[in-house]
Structure 1
Amino acid sequence: MSLPTSSFERLPRQGLLLLAALALGWGFNWPVMKVVLSEVPPLYFRGSCLLLGGLGILAIARAGGGSIRVPRSRWGRLALVTLTNIVGWNVLAIYGVGLLPSGRAALLGYTMPLWSVLLSVWLLGERLTAGRIVALLLGLAGVGVLMGDSLEGMLRAPVGVACMVGAAWSWALGVVLLKRLPVGLSTTALTGWMMVLGGLPMLAVALPLETSRLAWPSFWPAFGVSYNVFVAFMFCYWAWNRIVLMVPVAVSSLSSLVTPLIGVLGGALILGEQPGWREGVAALLILAAVGAVSLKRS
C-alpha cells in the first residue's frame, strides 16, 4: 500500500522527528564522504553503498510482510525518479565533494529548495504563498552567509561548482517527480528499489574506470562506507522519501536546509574546519526558514 501524498500542509510531530534525525545523519555524512574518498574511488563508493543499502531495505520490507512487487506499468516512473533522485544527485555530488571543501559542497547542493519550489509551482500547481517566499529567502540568505568569502575559492574550482549545482537541480526535479508520478509502493519498498536501480549502473561504469584504483580501505574510510550504507542510505533515504510524500514540496525542500548547517559543523568537528560568526547568523536564518514552513500554526 502506498503512502498518501501531501497529507499535511506542515510537518506533523513524526515529520519533525524524522527531519531532526535526517539532518544529523546526512549533515555529518558530508565530512565522512571526504574521508572515504581519500581511499575509495567515487563510483565504487556510491554504487556499492546504494546497492547494499537498497537490498537491505527491500529485505526489511519483505520480512515485515509488505509487498515489494513493482506494477508492470510503473517501471518507467520508477526509472525516472531513480535517475533524478539517485543517479543524477549521487554521481554529481560525489565528484563535487571531491573537488570542493565538504561543507561548501553541501551548501551548493542545498540550493535545491530554490529549484524544487519553482518546479513544484510549474509541474504540481502548488501555491507560492507569501510565507513560503519569505521562508525561501531566509533559507537562501542563510546559505549565502555560510558561503561568505569562500565564494572566491569556489570559483577557482568551477567543475566542482557545476557538479554541485547540477546535483541540486537533479535532486529538485526528482523530489517533484516523486509527487507527480506516484509509483504505487510503500515508502520502504520505493526507497529500496530506487537505491538498487541507482547503484547498479554506477557499479557497471566503475568496473572499467576505477578497478585499477580499488584497494581495501583503512579503518576510518571503511567505517565511513558502513556509515553510508546503514545511516546515510538505508535510514536517511527512507526518512527523506517519507517526508517528501507527507507534505508539499516547498515544505519538505525548505526543511532540508538544516542539513548543510550540520554539514558545516560536522566539517569543523571531523576535518578541523573552523566555524565562526557566519555559522551563528546562518543558523538563525535557516532555522527561521524551516520554522516558517514546518511548524504548525497554533
Structure 2
Amino acid sequence: MRETPDRSGPWLLAGITLFWGLNFVTIKYSVEEVPIWTFRTICLLTGGFGLLGIAKALGLSLRVPRAEWRPLVIAAIGNITGWHIFSAWGLQYVPASRGTILAYTMPLFAAVISVLWLRQKMTGLIMTALASGLVALAILLVPIRDEIVAHPFGPMLMLLAAAFWAFGTVALKRYRFTVPTAVLAGWQMLVGGIPVFIGWALIDIDFDPRPISHVAWMAVAYSAIVPMIFCHWAWFRIVAIYPAAVAAIGTLAIPVVSVIAAALLKDEPIGLSEILSLGLVLTSLALVLIVPALKNRTAPLPEPE
C-alpha cells in the first residue's frame, strides 16, 4: 500500500516565505537601534523558551535522548549560532533586500554539502530548479555589483551566514532525531544561542533600552515571536518532509518577498529585475514541488501481490 505523503509542506513553505521575507525588513529596523548581541539574545531566548513552553503545554516530553545531543549541537551551530550572528551582523552593512538575496544563496551551499556529506543524488529536475533560482538571485544582484566589490565585508558576512544555515539544514537530514519538532527547534535555539548569550554578556551588558524607538521595539517583538517560533518550527518540519536540496530550493521565494517588503516599508527600489526574478523563483518552486506531486498523482498503484 502506498504511504500517504505529508501534504503540509507547501503550506508551511508559503508561511515561512511570507513571515521570513518580512523578517529581514524588521531585522533591519531592529539592528539600526538595538545592538546585535542584544537583539539576537532576545530572539533566541523568546523562541527557545516559547517553543519548549508550547511543547510542554501540549503534553510533549522535553527530554532529548543522550545519543541525540551531539547531532543536535552540530545542527544548532549551523542553524542557530552561525546563521543568527552573521546575518544580523551583515545586515548592518547592506540594505535589507540585498542582504536577503545574498543570504538565500543557501540552496547552492546546501546542494553541494548534500552531495558531499549525504551522497544525495542531484536529479536533473533539482539542478534545473537550483539554476533557475540562482539566476533569479543573480538578476537582483547585478544592479549592485559595483557596490558589492567596493564594500565586500557586508556581503561576505551574509554569504557566511548562508553557508552556516546550509550546513545546519543538511545536518538535520544527516542525523535521525526522535524528539518532536517543537522540542528539537527549541533546544537548538537555546544550545546554539549559548555563544550569542556569552557575547551579549561581554559586549552589550550595559545596553540602555530607554532611547530605543517604539518602531524598533515592535520590529524586535515581531522577529522574536513570529519567525523564531512559527518559522523555525515550520522550517524543521519542511526539512523532515523534503530532501535537503529540495527544502533549500523552497526558500528561494523568501528574498523576493523581502525585496517587495523593503520597497513598501523602507522605500528601497523595485522594478523589472525584481519581477523577472519572481518569475524565475516561481519556476524553480514549481519544478521541485508541483511537478513531482503531479507525477506521484498520475503514477499507477502497485499491483497487489
Superposition deviation, residue 88 in structure 1: 0.4
Q: Which residue of 2 aligns with 1:234?
A: 229
Choose which of 172, 177, 186 in structure 2 pairs with 1:178. Answer: 172
TM-score, normalization: structure 1?
Answer: 0.94
Q: Which residue of 2 aligns with 1:79?
A: 73
> In the aligned structure 1, how far is the partner of 2:244 from the partner of 2:281?
17
Please say if 1:46 is aligned against 2:40.
yes
Superposition deviation, residue 43 in structure 1: 1.1
Q: Which residue of 2 aligns with 1:138?
A: 132
> In the aligned structure 1, how far is the partner of 2:33 from the partner of 2:79?
26
Write the letter of the residue equivalent to 2:227. Answer: A
Please say if 1:297 is aligned against 2:294.
yes
Q: Which residue of 2 aligns with 1:209?
A: 203
Please say if 1:218 is aligned against 2:213.
yes
> In the aligned structure 1, how far is the partner of 2:176 from the partner of 2:92?
34
Choose which of 160, 176, 181 in structure 2 pairs with 1:166. Answer: 160
Q: Please list, as runs of the form range in 1=range in 2, the aligned pairs for 1:1-298 lying within 5 A after superposition.
A: 13-216=7-210, 217-295=212-290, 296-298=293-295
Moved more, 147-156 or 31-40: 147-156
* Equivalent position SS for 1:230: helix
> In the aligned structure 2, how far is the partner of 1:166 from the partner of 1:208?
23
* Equivalent position SS for 1:257: coil
* Equivalent position SS for 2:37: helix
Comparing both chains, which one has the higher relative contact order based on Cα–Cα distances under 8 Å and sequence gaps of 6 or more? 1
> In the aligned structure 1, how far is the partner of 2:274 from the partner of 2:55?
39
Q: Is the 8 A contact 1:48 1:199 kept in 2?
A: no
Moved more, 12-21 or 56-65: 12-21
Q: Which runs of 5+ in 2 are unaligned?
A: 296-305
Instruction: Give CA-to-partner distance per residue, 1:11-36, whole Å, 9 cap, x none.
Output: x5411111111001000111111111
Write the letter of the residue equivalent to 2:246. Answer: V
> In the aligned structure 1, how far is the partner of 2:51 from the partner of 2:195?
19
> In the aligned structure 1, how far is the partner of 2:208 from the partner of 2:28?
17
Q: CA RMSD in A?
A: 1.4
Superposition deviation, residue 213 in structure 1: 4.3
> In the aligned structure 1, how far is the partner of 2:188 from the partner of 2:129?
30
> In the aligned structure 2, how far is the partner of 1:70 from the partner of 1:33?
31
> In the aligned structure 1, how far is the partner of 2:101 from the partner of 2:21?
11
Q: Which runs of 5+ in 1 are unaligned?
A: 1-6
* Equivalent position SS for 1:28: helix
Superposition deviation, residue 201 in structure 1: 2.5
> In the aligned structure 1, how far is the partner of 2:101 from the partner of 2:127?
19
> In the aligned structure 2, how far is the partner of 1:144 from the partner of 1:151?
10
* Equivalent position SS for 2:60: coil
Which structure has the bigger radius of gyration? 2
* Equivalent position SS for 1:284: helix
> In the aligned structure 1, how far is the partner of 2:13 from the partner of 2:67?
32
> In the aligned structure 2, how far is the partner of 1:157 from the partner of 1:184?
44
Write the letter of the residue equivalent to 2:263. Answer: A
Q: Is the 8 A contact 1:34 1:98 kept in 2?
A: yes
* Equivalent position SS for 2:91: helix
Instruction: Give CA-to-partner distance per residue, 1:45-88, whole Å, 9 cap, x none.
Output: 01221111110110110110111101122211111111111000
> In the aligned structure 1, how far is the partner of 2:207 from the partner of 2:23?
23
